[in-house]
Structure 1
């Protein structure tokens, strides 16, 4: 698979995951912690996905 296509898929899926987290986490925990948790999980998702794409493009 081409790297640019995989990068676009990761970006779109990250936005979808972030939207779901913003909707669900504040209902499960207090609102402030839910929003911060959603942001931190979004950053972690992008970091792991980005490292995976880089690793696959090098090898």
Structure 2
């Protein structure tokens, strides 16, 4: 695994944790992880998980 893959995996795990254990909005989570926008975080999350943050939270 490359360093980028390790970092991406850790970020996705932290986003998942926040989606499950908090009521923070996607915007608030995107801000905490310094994404430029909520839509960029959504695309990043979907690329790594196959679902949007909203879909993940609802499952």
TM-score in terms of structure 2 length? 0.38
- Higher RCO (CA-CA < 8 Å; seq separation 6+): 1
The structure that is helix-richer by fraction is 1
